[in-house]
Amino acid sequence: MGKGELERVQPALLHGSDHVLPQWRRVRDPELAGNPSVTALLVVGAGPGVGTTKVCAAVAALAVERSAGCTVVQPAETGVADGAEGSLATVARLAQGARTVELTRFPDRLPPAAAARWSGRPALDPAVCAEAVLSASRDGGLAVVDASGGLLVRYDDDGSTPAALARTLRLPVVVVAGAGDGAVNATALTLEAAASRGLALLGVVLGRWPVDPGPAERSAVDDLEMLAARPLLGALPPASCDPGVFREQARTGLGPALGGAFDAAAFRRRARS
């Protein structure tokens, strides 16, 4: 990153870029498959345990399959001891051929800024994070940022967040939603935070769609599409540990904008029946 670019990026990351804008900044052509203009995106969880890293792995698996290449960037891994396998090890197993980059790690399962304070380790440098994403996208293929902790989780005590990173680098955002109780409210809060910052919403993916969904899960489909003002971008079943089977799950569980063949209308009809 050149000096001028760094000077432009760093203040925006540090101060959060929280100017309120009334509408989504629309992606003119959101198709990632075969669209060289889209080189990076942010995948953010609308809550804990919704399957954000699995969605990153699915996007990466399809990118590798179409020979586009992919790098999954994990800004901050928390709750994992040094030397132990982190979440990116799962990405590497399921999306064979994808590159992975972990920028910081903290042993305590806390938000990144708190984990840095608690451990006495340096917090994530927002400029280093931005450079890692830019570098991955310049290397060819797609750069996917795994923001499992949420859109507004703080990376440092100066207030840098995944939302600020997405706004500064103009990254389209994929929101990973849960299914069932509390999912609609949590997703609504994430979407509102994204919209107020002028972020480009690519869509909403259900990261852990159950094999036998009940009324709470099925009724949430219409609500999530209403909140996002667009059809679902995907729904992934429980992940297989076999890379080939997982790749097929990714193909059928992610929409065309992410390189898959997910049919939102057919999924909606099944949820309503």
Q: Is 78 a known ligand-binding residue?
A: yes
- Whether 264 and 232 have beta carbons less than 8 Å apart is answered as yes
b/e 87-113 (16+ beta carbons within 10 angstroms → b):
bbebbbebbeebbbbbbbbbbbebbbb
Ligand-binding annotation for 208, yes or no, is yes
Sheet order of strands, 201-206 included: 99-106, 70-78, 142-147, 40-45, 173-177, 201-206, 234-235
Round to whole Å and give the CA distance between 36 and 87. Answer: 28
**Is 52 marked as binding a ligand?**
no
Find out whether 83 is annotated in a ligand binding site.
no
Name residue, tokens 């197993």.
93
The DSSP code for 110 is S
Radius of gyration for the alpha carbons in the chain, expressed in angstroms and rounded: 17
- Binding site feature residues: 53, 78, 207-208
Query: Which residues are annotated binding-site positions for Mg(2+)?
Result: 53
Q: Which residues are annotated as a binding site for ATP?
A: 207-208
Binding-site residues for substrate, in ranges, read 78
